[in-house]
Amino acid sequence: MSPVPVSVMIFTLDEEIHLPRCLDSLAWCDDVVVVDSFSTDRTESICRERGARFVQHRFEGFALQRNWALDNVPLRHDWVLVLDADERVPPELREELSAIARDDPAGVGAYRLRRRFHMWGRWLRYSGLYPSWVVRFVHKARVRYVERGHAETQEVHGETRDLAHDLVDENLKGIDEWFERQNRYSRKDADYELAQGREPLRLRQLLSADPLARRAALKRLTWRLPGRPLAYFLYSYLWKRGLLDGRDGLVFCAMRALYQAMVQIKKYDATRRRSNPGRRA
């Protein structure tokens, strides 16, 4: 097999359960870099056993961590696939990435792809809101990241195109860890929404040809909805047909609706604390 001119960056924190499957799906890559946030499990030893480069940097935010890696880690190739440890690359996606990197299209800064979310040993096609688009294949000199709530968005210098094949996302850490992460993420999203709440909603973005712009506009619209958790549940379970995933779909849609409630409650709490600074909860 000829070398694939693609570098891969994986961002980790205590990912010993996910890393073996992720790294095994990258056996074709000659430049895998793991950017770690000071794990305390076997993350480092797994990386070294499989020949991945291992660097560490204190985590301050997803966008900041990605920008730090692009600025400070020498990469062998111009085109970079950005992964989390619970994701893996199917063979058909590998072939597509290879073809693009070899062609190196002028004027293109990044590629979107669809992510298939797996839980409980299966693909939650409907309740996972497939197709969920994410920008993950980037030219290292044409992309910068910007914090947006608990996640990040991208500033792309050049055109953003779509990939034909999907990335697989399967979390194996279990439900308790999922809720621990949602608790952290909901605080960041609550703070972000409060900070952005004064900006006007641009309804025309709901009709944008860019799926990421449409999703961002839809999220901003939901910030203002009364009964936001119920609205999300009805949207994901009925409109997006999460019910077709059976009982797994029902439970997952309920979990995601609960996340919306967590964000809403934390926004309310922050607002009340600001209006009563001298009173303790």
Q: Which domains does the chain have, with CATH numbers?
A: 6-170 (3.90.550.10), 175-275 (no CATH)
Kindly tell me the number of DSSP H helices and DSSP E strands found in the chain: 8, 12
Q: For residue range 17-68, what is the model confidence (pLDDT) as tens digits?
A: 999 999 999 999 999 999 999 999 999 999 999 999 999 999 999 999 999 9
Q: What pLDDT is recorded for position 275?
A: 84
98-142 residue pLDDT tens: 999 999 999 999 999 999 999 999 999 999 999 999 999 999 999
Mean pLDDT within 147-155 = 85
Tell me how far apart the alpha carbons of residues 231 and 228 are, in angstroms, rounded to a whole number.
5
Torsion-angle region of 31 (φ positive above 0: left; ψ -120 to 50: alpha; else: beta): beta
The beta strand positions in the chain, using DSSP E, are: 6-12, 32-36, 53-56, 79-84, 87-88, 108-119, 122-123, 132-139, 143-148, 151-156, 159-162, 167-170
| Confidence band of 210 (pLDDT split at 50, 70, 90) | confident
